[in-house]
Structure 1
Amino acid sequence: MTSRKPDDDIPAAGERASLEQLVRWRRDVRRFKRDPVPEALVEELLRLADLAPSVGNSQPWRIVNVGDADLRAKLARNFEAARTRAGEGYSGDRADLYGRLKLAGLDAAPVHLAIFCDHGVLQGHGLGRHTMPETLDHSCACMVTVLWLAAREAGLGLGWVSIVDPSEVAKMLGVPPDWKFVGYLLLGWPEEEHLDPELERHGWQPRTAFETRYFTAGVSPLGREAKSPRPAEENGAGKVTLVGAGPGDPELLTLKALYALQSADAVLFDDLVAKPILDLIRPGARLIDVGKRGYRKSCKQPDINAQMVALAREGLNVVRLKSGDPLIFGRAGEEIEACEDAGIAISVVPGVTSAQGAAANLKVSLTNRDHARRLQFITAHDRHGTLPKDIDWSAVADSAATTVVYMPKRTLSELTQIALVHGLDPKTPAIAVANATRPDERVFISTIGAIAAVLDAAHPEGPVLVMIGEALRYATARDAAKQGRDIAVAHGVLPEKS
C-alpha cells in the first residue's frame, strides 16, 4: 500500500492522532502544494519544537527562515550542483534510479528553514558535553524530530534537504562562524500522502527488520550475526582506503599503509607518489595514474571520485594513494564525501607529511622551544591556482611561529612580498626543499626576503615546500653543511663567529 485510503488507520478530521500514528506517518515530504502556510501556524510549530530536549538545556539550534526569493534561488542552484556531483558516484541502474528520484521540494514548498547548531553556545555551561561535544548536534536532531511530528499533527509535511554544500549555505545566509549547518527544512501542505517512504517505494533501499538493530549486552557479540549489513556489503561493493604515501622515501611508509598496498585490488595514485612506493603494491593489482599535479593537466577531481566509487562497486578493495598525508592539502574531504554519499565504506591511513620529512633530513626542530610557539601549514594556491585571499598574514608575520608553505612555486614571490608588508622581518630564515626525502632532494637555505629569487633561479623540478621561521636559524642542508652556512651568513641569517 502506497497511498492513503479511507480505511487506513488515519485519524478523521478533528480527531487527535496518536503518537504511533504520527510516527508512522512521519515521512520525508518532497511534493508540496504551493498553498501558503499561515505565519501564526509556523510560529506555533517552531515554538513547540523549541521545547525539545537538549544536552544541559543548551538549546543550541538556530532556525533561519529563508523567505527571500533570491536566496532561495541560490540555494536551489546549490542543491542542483550537489545533486549532480553526488550522481556521478553512481552507475548503471542505480544511476538511472537516482536521476528519477525527487530529492527536494524547493520549488513548491512555501516555508524554507535553515537549521544550524551553535557550537559556541554558552547556555548550559557545558553540562553533559565535555566528554561528548557532539551531543549539541544530537540536540538539534531532537528539535527537528519534534518539529516533524508537530507538523504532521497539523496536517503539514516536512522535508529535510541534505544534498547541499554546508559551507556555501552558511556563507549565503551570513551566519556566525560557530554555527554548524544541520539541514535545510521544507514545510508545507503535502501534495500526496503515502504509508511508505519514497526511497523504499521506488526501490532505492527497503527498511530492514527491527531485530537487526536490537542487541542485548552480554548475550552475544554485538554488531556481528544480528547486525544489519552495510549497504555497500549488501550490494556486493568493496571498500576504499585513502593511504598517505609520505614524502617519497619508501622507508617512511607506515606498516598500515604497506598492508593496504599489499592487499589492494586497484590503486589510484598521484604523479607525486615516488616509484619505489609503487613497487610495493601487490602484484596483479590494477594501477591507475590519476595524475593530480599542480598547474599541469590532471584528472578532474569529480572523475577521480567517480572512478574510485565505480571500482568499489565492482567489489574491489580500492586504495587511493596520495603523496604525504591525505588529510593535509590532499583533497581527502571531497573523496571521503563521494564514498559516503555512494554508501561505500572508506577509511584513512595517515602518512608522514612532506614538512616532517624535510625537517627530519635537515635535523631541525620546527617547534624549537626557544624560537617557536606555533607550527602552521598553509597552502600557496587556491582552487584557481592563485594565492588564497584569506591567508592570515599577521599569523605568517608572527616571529614566534614556524610556517610551512605547501605548493608555493608560482605564488612564492607574491606571498613573501605581502608577508614583508605585514611586518615579517626580511632576514627571517627560509628554507625551500624540493623532492623532500628522495634521492634527488634539493635544499635552498636563504631568508624570506630572498628565497623567492633563489628558488626562481634554481627552478627545481618536483614538489616544493618552503619553511619559514626563527626555528630554522641553525638548520643546515644534509651533506652540505658548509654550503648551507655560507649561504646563511651571506644573507645575514647566522652571525659570523669572531
Structure 2
Amino acid sequence: MTFRAPEDLEKSPSLEQLVRWRRDVRRFKRDPVPQALIDRLLRLADLAPSVGNSQPWRIVSVNSPEKRAAIVQNFETARQRSAEVYSGDQADLYNRLKLAGFDAAPVQLAVFSDRGAMQGHSLGRQTMPETLDHSCACMVTVLWLAAREAGLGLGWVSILDPAAVTATLDVPANWKFVGYLLIGWPEEEHLDPELERHGWQPRTPFEARYSEVGLQGATPGQDTGSDGTAIQNGCVTLVGAGPGDPELLTLKALRALQSADAVLFDDLVAKPILDYVRPGAQMIDVGKRGYRKSCKQPDINAQMIALARQGLRVVRLKSGDPLVFGRAGEEIAACKDAGVPLSVIPGVTSAQGAAASLKVALTNRDHARRLQFITAHDRRGHLPADIDWSAVADRAVTTVIYMPKRTLAELTEIALTHGLDPKTPALAVANATRPDEQVFISTVGAIAATLGAAHPDGPVLVMIGEALRYATARDAADQAGVVLSALDVLPELT
C-alpha cells in the first residue's frame, strides 16, 4: 500500500469536501485506472465498520465483455419497466436522464451481501438481520469517499433485476445483490448530483430528516407550534422571483423552486419563472390584484402554515424582492408564531432590474448620495400620509416609487409644493426586464400625465432624481427630441 508524501498531505481535501464531492457519476472518460489503485481503494473500503465485525460484503469484479453486455441488457429492460410508473413531464425527464455509465466506465464491480456469513458469530443479527446489508452500504460509502479522494468517480447503479444479476454472475444463492458500481475518471466535476442538476429531485432541507424526542405533546418527526399543535417537518421559504427576466433568478431561488412541494405565487410573478418549478409541485395562485378581487393576506398566511404542517416544502414566490414592499414581515411573523421553520431568499428588486436594463446609475457621487424606495399607496390604496416630503424634494437623493399608478399625480403635486424642481428627470418603467418592457422619459412635472396617457399594463415603478439626468439623455439618443424638450439638456458626446 502506498501513502501520500508529507508535502501532499497539505493538499488533501477535507472530509467535508470529500462528502460534498461524493456524487453519483455517470459520465466517465475511457482512460484505464491502474489496478494497483483499485486494489488500494478496495482494501481501504474493507476497513469499513460492520455489525458484529461480520464484513458481509462480497465484491465481484466484472471484466468479461459478455457478462458486462448481459448486465447492460438487464439495465435496459429494468429501465424501460421503471419508465412505466411515470407520466407527463416526469416521464419525459426520466427518459432523457443518463442513469448509468456502462459505455465508458473501465472498472465495474458487483456488490453482494453474504446472508450466510459466519464471521461475527451472528452478533446483532438475531434482532436485526438486515444490518448485514447496511454494513455493505457502509463499505460502499467508504469506497466512494476513497475514490473521490483519489480523483476517481463512482456511480451506483440500482436499476437492475437482482435475480438476473445473480444468475449472470453465477454467485451463491445466499448472496443478496446490493448494487452495481461503476468506477473511472470523471468526464466533468460537479458539486451537485446530476439528478439535482437536471431537475429530477433536489436536496431537501436538513430539518426534514431530523427530529427530537421528548417535546411535550409532540411525536417523533414533529415540531409544535405556539398553540401546542403538532406539525410535521415542513418548512416555508419566501423566494424573490426578481422583476421578470428568469435569468435574474438567483441560484438559491432556482434550487428552492426545484425542490418545492407547493408554490404560492403572486399575480405579478412572470409566467416564464413558473416553468422552473419542479414538475408535480402544487401551484397555487394567491395574487393580490390591486383594486380587484384577490386573496387576503391572513388567508395566504393560513394556507402556507397548513401546507407546511402537512410536511411539505412550501415556497412563497413573490415578484422582485420579498423584503421590499412584499408583505414579508407579516408572513415571517405568521410562520414564527406557528413554529414553522422559515427561510428567506432575496431577489433582484424591480428598481435594480429597471436601472440595469436602462444602464442608469441610481446613485452618483456628484448628484445622488442617497437612494430611497417609497410606496405610493397604503393599506386602503391611498397615498400614504406619512411620506417625508422634504426627503422626496431633496436634490441629492434618487427616489424610486413603487406601485404609483393610481396616486402618482397626487404624489408629484405634493412633492412640487415641497420644493421639488418640476424639471427633475423622471423615468417610468412598466414590466421591467420583461420582453414587453416599456420606458417613459419625462420630468417630475409631466410624468403623471405621460403615464396616464400611455396607460401601460403590468407593474410600474417611477424613478426621479438628478442622477438620472445625463444618463437618461445619453441612453436615449434615439429619443433625442423627447429628451431635449423634457430635460432641457444636451446629450453628452463621447
What is the TM-score normalised by the length of structure 1?
A: 0.53
Do residues 310 (structure 1) and 320 (structure 2) align?
no
The offset of 1:494, in angstroms, is 1.9
- Equivalent residue, structure 2, for 1:402: 398
In the other structure, the counterpart of 2:46 is: none
Aligned to 2:224: 231
Q: Which residue pairs with 1:56 in the alignment? A: none
CA distance in 2, matches of 1:228, 1:493: 67
1:174 corresponds to: none
Residue 419, structure 1, aligned to residue 429, structure 2:
no
Q: Check if 1:362 corresponds to 2:358.
A: yes
| Distance apart, 1:493 and its partner CA | 4.0
Moved more, 324-333 or 233-242: 233-242
Rounded to whole Å, the distance in 2 between the matches of 1:450 and 1:495 is: 19
Maintained 8 Å contact 2:222/2:233: no
Distance 1:292 1:281 in 2: 21
Give the root-mean-square deviation of aligned CA atoms.
Answer: 2.4
- Select the residue among 467, 478, 490 that pairs with 1:471: 467
Shift of 1:497: 7.9
Partners of 1:429 and 1:476 lie apart in 2 by 8
- Indicate yes or no: 2:484 matched with 1:489: yes
C-alpha distance 278-477 of structure 1, shift in aligned 2 (>3 A): farther
Shift, 1:376, TM fit: 0.1
Alignment of 1:29-428 (within 5 A): 206=216, 230-231=223-224, 235-428=231-424
Q: Could you tell me which residue of structure 1 aligns to residue 436 of structure 2?
A: 440
Q: Deviations over 1:371-417 (max 9, x none)?
A: 10100000000000000000000000000000000000000000000
Aligned length: 276
| Residue number in structure 2 paired with 1:52 | none
Distance 1:497 1:251 in 2: 32
Relative distance call for 1:466 and 1:497 in structure 2 (3 A) is closer
The answer to whether the Cα contact below 8 Å between 1:447 and 1:493 also exists between their aligned partners in 2 is no
Distance in 1 between the 2:260 and 2:489 partners?
49
* Cα offset, 1:363, TM superposition: 0.5
How far apart, in 1, do the equivalents of 2:398 and 2:414 lie?
Answer: 17
User: Which secondary structure does the structure 2 equivalent of 1:424 belong to?
Assistant: coil
Match for 2:320: what amino acid?
G
Alpha-carbon deviation of 1:297?
A: 1.8
The whole-number CA distance in structure 2 between the counterparts of 1:206 and 1:331 is 33
1:477 and 1:323, CA in 2 relative to 1: closer, same or farther beyond 3 A?
farther
| Identical positions, percent | 76
The answer to whether the Cα contact below 8 Å between 1:445 and 1:477 also exists between their aligned partners in 2 is: no
Distance in 1, Cα, partners of 2:347 & 2:289: 18
Determine if contact 1:362/1:477 at 8 Å carries over to the other structure. no
Query: How far is 1:469 from its partner?
Result: 0.1
Q: Residue type matched to 2:486 in 1?
A: H
Q: Which amino acid aligns with 1:368?
A: N
Instruction: Give the Cα separation in 1 of the matches to 2:275 and 2:489.
Output: 42
SS of equivalent to 1:296: coil
**What is the CA distance between 1:477 and its match in structure 2?**
8.8
Distance in 2 (CA, whole Å) between partners of 1:400 and 1:417 is 19
2:448 counterpart (448, 452, 461): 452
Q: Given the superposition, is the C-alpha separation of residues 252 and 496 from structure 1 closer, same or farther in structure 2, using an over 3 Å criterion?
A: closer
Map Cα deviations across residues 76-130 of structure 1 (whole Å, 9 max, x no partner).
Answer: xxxxxxxxxxxxxxxxxxxxxxxxxxxxxxxxxxxxxxxxxxxxxxxxxxxxxxx
* 1:164-198: CA deviation from partner (whole Å, max 9, x where unpaired): xxxxxxxxxxxxxxxxxxxxxxxxxxxxxxxxxxx
Contact 1:429 1:493 in 2 (8 A): no
Distance 1:266 1:207, change over 3 A: closer
For residues 298 and 230 of structure 2, what CA distance do their matches in structure 1 show? Answer: 25
Q: Structure 1 CA distance, aligned partners of 2:280 and 2:473?
A: 40
How far off is 1:295 after superposition? Answer: 2.3
Distance 1:303 1:491, change over 3 A: same
**Contact persistence 1:245–1:257 (CA under 8 A):** yes
Distance in 1 (alpha carbons) for counterparts of 2:305 and 2:491: 58
Cα distance in structure 1, aligned partners of 2:441 and 2:305 = 43
Contact 2:473/2:490 (8 A) holds in 1: no
Following superposition, the deviation at residue 484 of structure 1 comes to 3.5
Distance, in Å, in 2 between the alignment partners of 1:384 and 1:390 is 14
Distance in 2, Cα, partners of 1:362 & 1:477? 11
CA contact (8 A) 1:429 1:448 kept: yes
| More divergent stretch after superposition (488-497 vs 235-244) | 488-497
Distance in 2, Cα, partners of 1:426 & 1:381 = 22
Instruction: Give the conservation status (yes or no) of the 8 Å contact 2:243–2:432.
Output: yes
Distance in 1 separating the partners of 2:232 and 2:447: 53
Shift of 1:487: 1.4
Structure 1: which amino acid aligns with 2:248? L
Distance 1:428 1:387, change over 3 A: same
**1:491 aligned counterpart, secondary structure:** helix
> Tell me, what secondary structure is at the counterpart of 2:356?
helix
Q: Deviations over 1:430-457 (max 9, x none)?
A: 0000000000000000000000000000
C-alpha distance in 1 between matches for 2:293 and 2:434: 24
TM-score relative to the length of structure 2 = 0.53
- Structure 1 residues not aligned, in runs of 5+: 1-204, 209-226
What's 1:462 paired with?
Answer: 458
Gaps of 5+ in 2: 1-214
What is the alpha-carbon distance in structure 2 between the residues aligned to residue 274 and residue 441 of structure 1?
12
Structure 2 CA distance for partners of 1:496 and 1:336, relative to 1, 3 Å: closer
| TM-superposed deviation, 1:234 | 6.2
